[in-house]
Structure 1
Amino acid sequence: MDAPLNTDAINALNDTAVAYPKEKALIHLTAAAAAQNPDKIALKFHDRVFTYKALNDAANKLAGYLVDQGLKRGDVAGVALDRSPEMVISLLAVMKTGAAYVPLDPDYPKDRIEFMLEDSSAKILITSEKYQNHFAANAKEVLIEAALEKFPDYPAVEPESGVIGEDLAYILYTSGSTGKPKGVQIRHFNLVNFLLSCQQSRPGLTPADKVLAVTTISFDIAGLDLYLPLITGAELLLADSATAKDGRALLDLVKAENVTVMQATPFTWRMMLASGWDSKIDLKIYCGGEAFPKDLATQLLPKTSEIWNLYGPTETTIYSTIKQITSDEDITIGTPVANTQIYIVDEQLNNLTDGSIGEILIGGDGVAVGYLNREELSAERFIKDIFSADENARMYRTGDLGKIRQDGEIVCLGRIDHQVKVRGYRIELEEIEQNLLKQGNIKQAVVIAREDTPGMPRLVAYVITPEAKEGIELKNQFDAWQKGLLEVLPEYMVPDDFVVMEAIPITPNGKIDRKALPKPDYNIIYREGEFVEPGTDNEKLVAKIWQQNMGIEKISILDNFFELGGRSLVAVKIMAAIEQETGKRLPLATLFEHATIQKLAKRLEGDEVISWESLVPIKPTGSKMPLYIVHGAGLNVLLFNALAMNMDAEQPVYGLQARGLNGIDEPLDVMEEIAANYIAEIVAKNPEGPYALAGYSLGGIIAYEMANQLIAAGKEVKMVAMFDTYAERSTVNDSAAKKAVSKAILGTKKFAHSFVLLAEDPKRTIEYKGLMLKRQLIKLYWKVFKSGQKREGFFAYDNEIDEASEKALRNYVLKPLDITLDLFRAKKRTFYMEDFEFLGWTPFAKKGVNVHEIPGEHNTIFAPPNDKEFAEVLQKCLDRVAKK
């Protein structure tokens, strides 16, 4: 049995209020630390040493120079410098001017950095002569070398910028599901609250500590690396880029410099362990960026003095919860940092404190402003904090699953969506897929993260190609894709492996079945020439080590380490094994020049889940503007297939199916929410538009509300089409008496019109009326005799969804929109309507209603042979509106 809930611990979970100087900016704290410790070492980089006074003076001088270059409070400056003291000085200087910085790792793709500069409207780009004129941007380029030459002209006084806690400190870009990064806006008080909590509470830091900083500034956790020691009076030891990627070099540095605190991702800790870490070090470990695995805790616990697990997204300022790990059997993400609240909620945002699993939401003083220039996404992820007494408080939807443990600690259970973490980096798989589709010879692409070898996650891309290749030609194709991706994505987002497939597996409802994607055959090697067996003793030794550590059974001595998918963690293990076997210690960089078994051996001879998304790709390929068709009351989007297949070869068509078909997701019963749900999925795949929307029957009303919301959001809607949808006037606001009268009048008219229909086509009228009666009787039977009992089979949940949809329709009030509406009206009438010509839409489409007659009746417009004529009429209409 589970242990009983500790209600006191759970109640105290969010009791985190702590006073702190919210009005102050981060640079006020670093300046205060400099005043208190002027002669103490603040920063060390190789042989270069800066005291607190020297570092603060340099930042003040650079701030003065930047002000003369036009940078002021409220502006944005990009910082693209290699890891160096000048990088740290530049970050501090930008904040001292009152501006916010955008951290730019020069190793990142040029296009990505240029996008960040443009999106952030950076006024100035601080870089070095090494990267002069390298980045195309509107920002004024300021070279750090030129600035340093001018230092004698500037006093070392604190600039009077007027910066306060509410001002932005930085804008940090994270991976985005639309294919473009999104900028998270962090204020000074967000950062000050987090850093003071870490300093004064958990994990704690003192002036006697020495902190080794290894994280790129484009990763938000670098904020802890750099600023926590500098507000404390501790020493900051800055590792260069090469050292930060070499586990053995990091381990040597920790030992040689007597480092007391180091923060890194699980991937970096594994690198260090693989490099021969075999004894205990008096080192306090901060582990964050991704989930902390049990096996890693098992290895690290006996080798360190303290281990702290830290959790939190960029959007809530570096980390939001902290837990000291003392046993590999007790791994959680702990409890919130100061002035932070953690909630586990269900889909209705009910707070779950009984151990139930739900989404992790984070509130408090760490919550960012939102995403820069992404109002829709900000509104979706940064929502009103309904648990706070502060009317303006907001909380962030993390998309992580979690639960509250019996003792009040939080357990994180992974992602709700397809976002993953690889080597500590948060990755939106859709961003990789979007960029893969821009490469040559790819029709469809799906990317997932696999961990077939524990502790070694790999990105695998599954692709369908129009042109089949084999052998070395296929390998060259893989290389070309990787090269193309490296031009637009960071290295950590480029797939390690590619699998060419004839078809992507799908679930019964037509969605990609990611769980069914096969494990790659890691033993397949594409090589130019013949397989060459190892001959010398050293070649045999190296081959054996490569095979053991790369999981490949047979490797030619001419095969290239990197072309085999080798990465740094594997390289560390290989080099450690070589050292253990031969006693010769080779740097990792040896593999660049000695990337084959043959070359490395010679060097030794010398002295080295089923998805139920609403958006269904019916015909996703094509160059034309996509058409999105919303399901009717029957919930089935399969009937749109014939229509789509009869349209132009370049016409993409997507269907939208109802939420709740899986029996897990709760059906939505508010029209605005149904529309918003569908829009979110469409915009996630197609953020820019323009949009062509259509709906069948009930779906037409949903499409109309989708158009309303998209237009309100500033999106371009080229088409709003009704597939035989009637615009019924809602009676939700009528009095009971008026409703009764309206219902009686309409009933009378329908009854009278039945005789007209009988005269025109008695057989079909009787069939139709019989079908309607049968549906009503089935619905009544389940409501009266089977109340509360679940139906079985594929459509087990359609009754619940129908009821939710009917409720949404009853309560929805149509409002006029400034649009032209295209009405595709069935020629044959099978029921009464007050407006047979325009189906009631004239009052709601301010720019008019275009009527297109299509063959068949309401239930047969998609059936052969009607589908071909319908498709032809629809395609002409789509092509016409697309040209406007």
Structure 2
Amino acid sequence: TTVGLCLSRGLDTLVATLAVLKAGAAYLPMDPAYPLERLCDMAGDSGAALLLVHRDTVLATREATPQCVLDSDPVQAELTGCADTDPSPLPGQGAREVAYVIYTSGSTGRPKGAAIEHRSAANLALRMIQRCEVGAGSRVLQFASQSFDAAVLDWTMALLSGATLYICGNDERGSVEKLQDYMLDNRITHAVLPPSLLSLLDSTRDYALRMLMVGGEACDPRTAQIWSSRYRLFNGYGPTEAAVCSTLMELKPDEPVTIGRPLGNVRAYVLDRQRQPVPLGAYGELYIGGVGVGRGYLNRPELTAERFIADPFVEDPQARLYATGDIVRYLADGRIEYVGRLDDQVKIRGFRIELGEIEARLLELAEVKAALVVVREDGRGERRLVAYVVPTAMDAALGDWREQLRRWLPEHMVPTALVTLAEFPMSVNGKVNRGALPAPELPGSGEDFVAPQGETQEALAEIWGRLLGLEVAEISAGASFFELGGHSLLSTRLVSAIRERFDVEL
């Protein structure tokens, strides 16, 4: 049985989670901030027998799933009349029963529900309590959204160790300043945060942190260097399908950032396309084995069979490996180095590009606090690199950043545009919301725009516009062809067009 929890952030969500588990069911976290259609899809696809909601989170769902409004007067009256002691013994849950279901985005646009068993969640909590030294005096922050798997780590790590769990509000989750104040005021000792958020926090403030963990996305070396110099910093890696965290690395100053080694009772294999082990130091796809591997995707037998395969390296016929789709390699000392995604390989004009390499170079600029590089399509459908940066100060002068990047990167890896933001837009999961990143402005637009003058400039602007997919009115006389989206392949067409129009050789 699955019970959906579509509740406002706070204590009720945690109490409801424990109640569902105690009743012998699996809980399905549903963030009220998600679109209604997505929530309805989750409720219907999971076959939830009941939804626990608040008055302000009741779903106008097309599904026939009953909803229990926890803060309604009748339910509150019934709860008030309940005994303070435990009722008669409830059916116990075995280690192989499903504890929770978390939906993740699917490549087809349809979310898929990853079912995780009790043994996986228990192993995660116990291993992290040991490694991160969580105990009765600890104050654990829950920053993650209830529908994000990191929240499982937060509350299990706290409650199974006797620590105190601090659930920050949405105001704190949406403001760097408020989050910093919350961590300071409540003397938070343990926190799990996305590295893109951590890079925006002020590392010089006097936090009570005894352990800080980053996860959910790659941690850049600069952020690792800054925070590991002041606090005990862990880098956690793991897909939702393998119970939040599969490998862990304590990062040290002046050491490379890796995803470390597998947790206890978890195995990690680096395999080639034939699913055979690759030599030490060679790149391959990471497969996760052991008790951390989930049961599979709800109602998606074909996808489950594709991603959750039989483990050929152990004798247990029920053992499974999860194919992560991540490219990694084992280093000589047993640590695992993360490289990127198999299905997220950027290729522009025939060049294979690792966006992380460009981001790392941007972070080496003294004026840049955080950096992100994405691929966007321009007006003619051509893919182009766009850099987004959070400067150390909004009045910081980035100077000729392209020339600085060209010191390290070939021309095809230099972004055509750079957008400066006060902070990155964040999703409900605390990750960068790439869909909310603004489109770059054209160079020379706004107050800097200078209209082409004379027949020659106007003719050149017309040629540029045709090649770049721009209107003539968008092209400033002082703009650079390459900054507007041009590249070496397009420049050959430019030379030909100029030759044909003006009968000159360039």
Taking structure 2 as the reference length, what is the TM-score of the superposition? 0.71
Provide, for residues 445-469 of structure 1, a one-character-per-residue CA deviation record: whole Å limited to 9, x for no partner: xxx989665433265542xxxxxxx
Give the direction of change, closer, same or farther, for the CA distance of 1:458–1:153 in structure 2 (3 Å limit). Answer: farther
Provide, for residues 607-649 of structure 1, a one-character-per-residue CA deviation record: whole Å limited to 9, x for no partner: xxxxxxxxxxxxxxxxxxxxxxxxxxxxxxxxxxxxxxxxxxx
Matching of residue 195 in structure 1 with residue 125 in structure 2: yes
Please state whether the residue corresponding to 2:423 is helix, strand or coil. helix
Matches within 5 A, 1:56-75: 75=1
- Supply the distance in 2 between the matched residues of 1:416 and 1:565 (Cα, whole angstroms): 28
Matching of residue 171 in structure 1 with residue 25 in structure 2: no
Residues 184 and 314, structure 1, Cα contact 8 Å, conserved in 2 = yes
Deviation at 1:205, TM superposition (A): 1.4
**Structure 2 counterpart of 1:228, from 142, 157, 163:** 157
Matches within 5 A, 1:298-697: 298-304=225-231, 306-418=232-344, 454=363, 455-457=370-372, 460-462=375-377, 499-501=378-380, 503-504=381-382, 517-520=383-386, 546=394, 548=396, 569=423
- Supply the distance in 2 between the matched residues of 1:520 and 1:241 (Cα, whole angstroms): 30
Residues 124 and 140, structure 1, Cα contact 8 Å, conserved in 2 = yes
- Supply the distance in 2 between the matched residues of 1:520 and 1:334 (Cα, whole angstroms): 31
Which residue is 1:858 aligned to? Answer: none
Which residue is 1:149 aligned to? Answer: 77
Letter in 2 for 1:242: D
Give the direction of change, closer, same or farther, for the CA distance of 1:552–1:278 in structure 2 (3 Å limit). Answer: farther
Residues 403 and 411, structure 1, Cα contact 8 Å, conserved in 2 = yes
- Supply the distance in 2 between the matched residues of 1:320 and 1:416 (Cα, whole angstroms): 19
Residues 84 and 240, structure 1, Cα contact 8 Å, conserved in 2 = yes
Deviation at 1:545, TM superposition (A): 6.2
- Supply the distance in 1 between the matched residues of 2:107 and 2:399 (Cα, whole angstroms): 32
- Supply the distance in 2 between the matched residues of 1:108 and 1:565 (Cα, whole angstroms): 27
Give the direction of change, closer, same or farther, for the CA distance of 1:551–1:241 in structure 2 (3 Å limit). Answer: farther
Which residue is 1:76 aligned to? Answer: 2
Greater C-alpha Rg: 1
Letter in 2 for 1:401: I
Residues 139 and 164, structure 2, Cα contact 8 Å, conserved in 1 = yes
Give the direction of change, closer, same or farther, for the CA distance of 1:101–1:548 in structure 2 (3 Å limit). Answer: same
Deviation at 1:571, TM superposition (A): 8.6
Which residue is 1:496 aligned to? Answer: none
Letter in 2 for 1:223: V
Give the direction of change, closer, same or farther, for the CA distance of 1:264–1:176 in structure 2 (3 Å limit). Answer: same
Please state whether the residue corresponding to 2:201 is helix, strand or coil. helix
Which residue is 2:458 aligned to? Answer: none
Please state whether the residue corresponding to 2:38 is helix, strand or coil. helix
Provide, for residues 249-282 of structure 1, a one-character-per-residue CA deviation record: whole Å limited to 9, x for no partner: 1221222211111111102212213xx7445654
Give the direction of change, closer, same or farther, for the CA distance of 1:458–1:115 in structure 2 (3 Å limit). Answer: farther
Residues 246 and 271, structure 1, Cα contact 8 Å, conserved in 2 = no
Provide, for residues 160-186 of structure 1, a one-character-per-residue CA deviation record: whole Å limited to 9, x for no partner: 133222211111011110111111000
- Supply the distance in 2 between the matched residues of 1:106 and 1:458 (Cα, whole angstroms): 30
**Structure 2 counterpart of 1:263, from 192, 199, 210:** 192
Letter in 2 for 1:295: R
Give the direction of change, closer, same or farther, for the CA distance of 1:550–1:133 in structure 2 (3 Å limit). Answer: farther
Matches within 5 A, 1:728-739: none
Give the direction of change, closer, same or farther, for the CA distance of 1:280–1:113 in structure 2 (3 Å limit). Answer: closer
Give the direction of change, closer, same or farther, for the CA distance of 1:186–1:282 in structure 2 (3 Å limit). Answer: closer
Q: Which has the larger helix fraction?
A: 1
Letter in 1 for 2:147: S
Stretches of structure 1 that go unaligned for 5 or more consecutive residues are 1-74, 421-447, 463-498, 505-516, 524-543, 554-563, 573-884
- Supply the distance in 2 between the matched residues of 1:567 and 1:91 (Cα, whole angstroms): 38
Please state whether the residue corresponding to 1:151 is helix, strand or coil. helix
- Supply the distance in 2 between the matched residues of 1:263 and 1:339 (Cα, whole angstroms): 22
Matching of residue 100 in structure 1 with residue 29 in structure 2: no
Which residue is 2:12 aligned to? Answer: 86
**Structure 1 counterpart of 2:215, from 284, 288, 293:** 288
Letter in 2 for 1:106: P
Residues 242 and 294, structure 2, Cα contact 8 Å, conserved in 1 = yes
- Supply the distance in 2 between the matched residues of 1:550 and 1:142 (Cα, whole angstroms): 54
Which residue is 1:184 aligned to? Answer: 114
**Structure 1 counterpart of 2:148, from 209, 219, 223:** 219
Residues 248 and 271, structure 1, Cα contact 8 Å, conserved in 2 = no
Taking structure 1 as the reference length, what is the TM-score of the superposition? 0.41
Please state whether the residue corresponding to 2:8 is helix, strand or coil. coil
Please state whether the residue corresponding to 1:342 is helix, strand or coil. strand
- Supply the distance in 1 between the matched residues of 2:344 and 2:207 (Cα, whole angstroms): 38
Residues 281 and 303, structure 1, Cα contact 8 Å, conserved in 2 = no
- How many residues are paired up? 388
Residues 522 and 551, structure 1, Cα contact 8 Å, conserved in 2 = no
Give the direction of change, closer, same or farther, for the CA distance of 1:96–1:549 in structure 2 (3 Å limit). Answer: farther
Which residue is 2:504 aligned to? Answer: none
Which residue is 2:133 aligned to? Answer: 204
Between the aligned residues of both structures, percent identity stands at 31
Letter in 2 for 1:168: V
Provide, for residues 381-432 of structure 1, a one-character-per-residue CA deviation record: whole Å limited to 9, x for no partner: 1011000111211101111111111111111111111289xxxxxxxxxxxx
Give the direction of change, closer, same or farther, for the CA distance of 1:303–1:148 in structure 2 (3 Å limit). Answer: farther
Deviation at 1:286, TM superposition (A): 1.0
Residues 376 and 385, structure 2, Cα contact 8 Å, conserved in 1 = no
Matching of residue 247 in structure 1 with residue 176 in structure 2: yes
Give the direction of change, closer, same or farther, for the CA distance of 1:129–1:550 in structure 2 (3 Å limit). Answer: farther
Please state whether the residue corresponding to 1:406 is helix, strand or coil. coil
State the superposition RMSD in angstroms.
2.9
- Supply the distance in 1 between the matched residues of 2:190 and 2:43 (Cα, whole angstroms): 33
- Supply the distance in 2 between the matched residues of 1:278 and 1:389 (Cα, whole angstroms): 52
Please state whether the residue corresponding to 1:142 is helix, strand or coil. strand
Give the direction of change, closer, same or farther, for the CA distance of 1:204–1:353 in structure 2 (3 Å limit). Answer: farther
Residues 123 and 138, structure 1, Cα contact 8 Å, conserved in 2 = no
Deviation at 1:99, TM superposition (A): 1.2
Give the direction of change, closer, same or farther, for the CA distance of 1:266–1:341 in structure 2 (3 Å limit). Answer: same
Which residue is 2:407 aligned to? Answer: none
- Supply the distance in 1 between the matched residues of 2:327 and 2:425 (Cα, whole angstroms): 34
Provide, for residues 93-133 of structure 1, a one-character-per-residue CA deviation record: whole Å limited to 9, x for no partner: 11111111111111111111111111111111111111234
Provide, for residues 660-679 of structure 1, a one-character-per-residue CA deviation record: whole Å limited to 9, x for no partner: xxxxxxxxxxxxxxxxxxxx
Which residue is 2:49 aligned to? Answer: 123
Give the direction of change, closer, same or farther, for the CA distance of 1:549–1:102 in structure 2 (3 Å limit). Answer: farther
Give the direction of change, closer, same or farther, for the CA distance of 1:173–1:522 in structure 2 (3 Å limit). Answer: closer
- Supply the distance in 2 between the matched residues of 1:571 and 1:547 (Cα, whole angstroms): 20
- Supply the distance in 2 between the matched residues of 1:138 and 1:268 (Cα, whole angstroms): 39
Deviation at 1:550, TM superposition (A): 10
- Supply the distance in 1 between the matched residues of 2:339 and 2:333 (Cα, whole angstroms): 17
- Supply the distance in 1 between the matched residues of 2:398 and 2:113 (Cα, whole angstroms): 37
Provide, for residues 124-151 of structure 1, a one-character-per-residue CA deviation record: whole Å limited to 9, x for no partner: 1111111234444321011111333311
- Supply the distance in 2 between the matched residues of 1:142 and 1:368 (Cα, whole angstroms): 29
